[in-house]
Amino acid sequence: MLTSTTTQTTPSTSTSTSYSRYQKTLSQTLARLNISEKEANFFKEPQFIHKKEIAIIRDDGTTALYPAFRVQANNARGPFKGGIRYHPLADEDEVKTLAALMAIKTAVVNIPFGGGKGGIQLDPKSLSKKELEAVSRAYIRAFKDHIGSDIDCPAPDVNTNPAIMAWMRDEYEKETKTFSPSMITGKPMSFGGSLGRDTATARGGFFILEELIERTAMDPDELRVAIQGFGNAGMHMAHFLHNAGFTVVAVSDSHGGIYSPDGIDPVRIEKYKRNTGEVTGEYCEGSVCDLNRMKYDNVERITNEQLLEIECDILIPAALDNVITEENAPRIKAQYILELANGPTTPEADEILNRRGVKLIPDVLANAGGVTVSYFEWTQGRSGEQWTAEKVDAELKRVILDAYKGVRRESYRNKITYREAAFSIGIKRMLDAMRARGWV
């Protein structure tokens, strides 16, 4: 560890960043709720930003340095909670935004956590397994004083997984000489994980979609779905939807996507993705595709940009943030958008979609299944219990549908969008806790 800063933050004046876009939605909510300036100020910046540069020795003997972050947005309702992302674009602004969204999200689903997020700015694909383990353990050594079961509890996010969570727990327990199964969630089943955590984000979103279409009297087999991102969130969602009779017409990953109006079988896509690293692996090797076979199967190769505008009823962004913008929002064909990714829609795009009557289920609700089952894992770690898959599923459904119905009610009563309604509920719950503590 070469450099280290921890700041207790004051309001910033930055423009046009992920965080300034988040602040726009926040300001509108604070104004709508008539919150005093003194109370409003508490929401504008995270409580703490921890930044370090972590160093590892690479396999070739050279030293590599990576900027690393842990941002703690708000802990009025419970310990900070949120994943750790490994990505070349993970920077302070992005991690700050994601941490703030986590605080709203845990409040929307009403679980006893605050919001936090972590990130390391690196390309995990450029590292060997040994290097990945070294960087994961270094992250914990760098931030160990700021995390823990009752303080701040990380989890997986983009490019991090149960194996990484296991290295992190192991490193934390070694460093602190404690037994701390609840210091991190998303662990493997063999090392304190919970049944259902791997599929929880998609499962929560799926429960919401089921409830939504039930109310609109549509049948799954009438609905076409496009999913951007085929990782933990997107891939499991594709399976749930396909198994329930929806037609998944398009999926993609960072290399691009695949479209078929006849529908795509996620089992086959998963098999080829595992073997070739790409969702198009059944038809293409790099940029060379078997066009005859694609024609026979009525399949087209598409870009990630095309996927967002494809002919479908439900669009599910499940990869990165800020992909739905004022530029492409007018061309989106879907009538429903379920944000499994965090922050995929800019505020400008939100306004356009709302004007066009597109119903959008916002990230702070749509992907809250992950943190909800993380809470169940945290609870199991503290009690020593092991819940059955049935119990996890039933409790997840109860929590997520309670939250969904609360947001729907708030939206209907105040004639506001689901995102506005979710922010209102989240901010009000955080404020109640802050007032009870005497912070404001």
Task: Choose between 46 and 231: whose C-beta lies nearer to ligand NAD.
Answer: 231
Which stretches of 62-126 are DSSP H helices? 92-108
Sign of CA dihedral 50, 107, 401, 185: positive
Least separation in angstroms between residue 13's CB and ligand NAD is: 27
Which of 203, 123, 200, 198 lies closest to 163, judged by CA? Answer: 198
Count other Cβ atoms within 10 Å, centred on residue 394.
Answer: 12
Q: Amino acid letter at 106?
A: T
Instruction: Give the Cα separation of 93 and 69 in Å (integer).
Output: 10
CA 316 to chain CA centroid, nearest Å: 12
Least distance (Å) between residue 302 CB and ligand NAD: 11
* Number of Cβ within a 10 Å radius of residue 239: 18
When CB distances to ligand NAD are compared, the closest residue is 231
Based on the residue annotation, tell me whether 117 is a catalytic residue of this protein: yes
Distance in Å from the first CA to the final CA of the chain: 36
DSSP letter, residue 11: -
DSSP 312-374: -SEEEE-S-SS-B-TTTGGG---SEEE--SSS-B-HHHHHHHHHTT-EEE-HHHHTTHHHHHH
* In the complex, least distance from residue 223 CB atom to ligand NAD, rounded to whole angstroms: 21
- Quote the strand ranges of 58-170, DSSP E: 63-74, 80-86, 115-120, 152-156
Q: Which is nearer to ligand NAD, 30 or 232 (CB)?
A: 232
Toward ligand NAD, which CB reaches closer, 30 or 320?
A: 320
Shorter beta-carbon distance to ligand NAD: residue 165 or 431: 165
> In the complex, what is the shortest distance from the CB of residue 246 to ligand NAD, in angstroms, rounded to a whole number?
19
In the bound complex, what is the minimum distance in angstroms from residue 296's beta carbon to ligand NAD?
26
In the complex, which residues of this chain contact ligand NAD (CB under 6 A)? 156-159, 201, 228-234, 252-254, 304, 318-320, 340-342, 367, 370
- Residue 164 or 416 with smaller CB distance to ligand NAD: 164
CB of 348 to ligand NAD, least distance (A): 19
Nearer to ligand NAD, 73 or 158 (CB): 158
Tell me which of 52, 96, 117, 187 is the catalytic residue. Answer: 117
CA 198 to CA 377: how far, in whole Å? Answer: 11
Catalytic residue positions, numbered: 117
